[in-house]
């Protein structure tokens, strides 16, 4: 009876499109409010965590635990002067940050926050909507978000924003491919591209028989498809322009990148889109790889863990954990050089992902094995291959020459002197001074000859 009840709580595609208008409107408002609230708390959370890592308190004066500091900063930003550059394209300059925000928030519409619950007598899934290609909707939203950055950089009419926008477009092309291939492994395993269907497929583990011993295997794709999970998370950090991949807004090189010429509410919208995208991609990772709203072990030992409103708590807990990893990376790793970043995407992530998809597709065609058994064995082997590839020792470095050998190798002794026949052309000022002094030298010479 309990299994039948739990199965009845799992949303399916047939459960969507039947809600009254006020319930649909309430879901939309909830998803939008979740994005805004996640931004306010995300900025506070990041400043507190990075402050803790840097052995300083962080915001702690405005409101309890400094919670109102972000709200105060937002109000201050709203009342700042809105500056429009003279060379900017006014229409595109205005709509660019709006595109980024809308793209980031729209992806939340297909994220399942929980199972079916009763709201004022109506049984409805805790999800705005779901379609048979919901994963492609997420990919489309993440791809559209970069248009706001590129257009904002181009419409500013300045060099630094343009360079930041071009970097962002190249970054999106590089890491969108690796992210898409990681998702391919997910719906190859789940057999569906519906987000609610993918969560349902991660419900239960199975038994793996090795040497006569039955070993339980979890249903989370983060373990069954470990290489895809690792590559997806790395590509996700690159997609959201977060450190150490925040090259489109590298303040050490490009002032503020694509946001250099923005101020007031437009700057706030770009900042909002970044944090909403970070929370959205954390929710996508939770849905695709971490079981979605289902409780982790050992909470699953409680029979009511995945019933009612409790699953929202597990879902938000997983999202907060992934956001913490984002902040952790920012406070730990330095920014990559641009050529290192592009080389890592094209020459490391993409080949490994292609090989992994090929191996996974080949093993799925073997009919003698149980699906979960072969996927687990494949994930273990591919994970070992991935770690071996990433940490394989490079060729042996040549020993560094001693100081005496370095001195002897220099052609001019112990100091690197320039060649003596180096002719430096005189500056125009020197030529002018010499020309002005020549008549005086001629007169002085004639007088000396007369004497």
Quote the Cα angle for 131-121-299, to 5°. Answer: 70
pLDDT of res. 442: 47
pLDDT of res. 104: 86
pLDDT of res. 430: 59
Q: Which residue has the tokens 């492609």?
A: 136
CA-CA distance, 156 to 443, in Å (whole number)? Answer: 62
pLDDT of res. 251: 64
Q: pTM of the full predicted structure?
A: 0.77
Residues of the chain with pLDDT under 70: 1-9, 204-218, 250-255, 366-398, 406-451
pLDDT of res. 161: 84
pLDDT of res. 421: 55
CA-CA distance, 397 to 314, in Å (whole number)? Answer: 49
pLDDT of res. 286: 94
CA-CA distance, 197 to 282, in Å (whole number)? Answer: 18
Which residues, including other chains, have CB under 8 Å from residue 233's CB and lie 6 or more apart?
A: 285, 325
Tokens, residue 338:
């641009």
pLDDT of res. 112: 93
Residue count (the chain): 451
């Amino acid at each position: 009876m309990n299994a039948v009840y739990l199965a009845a709580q799992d949303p399916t595609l047939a459960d969507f499109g039947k809600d009254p208008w006020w319930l649909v409107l309430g879901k939309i408002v909830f998803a939008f409010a979740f994005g805004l609230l996640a931004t306010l708390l995300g900025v506070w959370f990041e400043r507190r965590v990075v402050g803790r890592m840097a052995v300083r308190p962080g915001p702690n004066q405005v409101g309890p635990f400094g919670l109102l500091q972000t709200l105060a900063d937002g109000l201050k930003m709203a009342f700042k002067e809105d500056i429009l550059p003279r060379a900017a394209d006014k229409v595109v300059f205005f709509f660019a940050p709006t595109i980024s925000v809308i793209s980031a928030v729209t992806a939340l519409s297909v994220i399942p926050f929980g199972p079916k619950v009763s709201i004022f007598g109506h049984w409805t899934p805790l999800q705005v909507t779901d379609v048979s290609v919901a994963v492609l909707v997420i990919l489309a939203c993440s791809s559209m978000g970069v248009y706001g950055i590129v257009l904002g950089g181009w419409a500013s009419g300045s060099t630094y924003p343009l360079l930041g926008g071009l970097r962002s477009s190249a970054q999106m092309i590089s890491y969108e491919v690796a992210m898409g291939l990681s998702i391919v492994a997910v719906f190859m395993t789940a057999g569906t591209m519906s987000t609610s269907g993918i969560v349902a497929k991660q419900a239960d583990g199975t038994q793996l028989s090795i040497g006569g011993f039955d070993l339980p295997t979890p249903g989370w794709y983060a373990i069954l498809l470990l290489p895809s999970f690792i590559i997806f998370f790395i590509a996700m950090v690159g997609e959201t322009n977060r450190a150490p991949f925040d090259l489109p807004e590298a303040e050490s090189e490009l002032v503020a990148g694509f946001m250099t010429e923005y101020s007031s509410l437009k700057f706030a919208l770009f900042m909002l889109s970044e944090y909403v995208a970070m929370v959205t991609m954390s929710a996508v990772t939770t849905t695709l790889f971490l079981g979605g709203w289902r409780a982790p072990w050992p909470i699953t030992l409680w029979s009511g863990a995945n019933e009612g409103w409790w699953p929202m708590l597990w879902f938000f807990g997983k999202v907060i954990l992934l956001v913490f990893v984002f902040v952790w990376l920012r406070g730990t790793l330095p920014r990559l050089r641009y050529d290192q970043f592009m080389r890592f995407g094209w020459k490391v992530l993409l080949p490994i992902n292609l090989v992994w998809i090929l191996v996974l597709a080949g093993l799925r065609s073997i009919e003698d094995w149980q699906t979960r058994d072969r996927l687990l064995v494949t994930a273990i082997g591919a994970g070992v291959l991935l770690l071996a590839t990433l940490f394989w020792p490079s060729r042996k470095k040549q020993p560094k020459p001693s100081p005496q050998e370095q001195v002897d190798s220099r052609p001019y002794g112990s100091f690197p002197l320039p060649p003596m026949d180096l002719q430096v052309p005189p500056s125009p000022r020197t030529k002018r001074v010499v020309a002005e002094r020549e008549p005086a030298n001629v007169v002085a010479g004639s007088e000396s000859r007369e004497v």
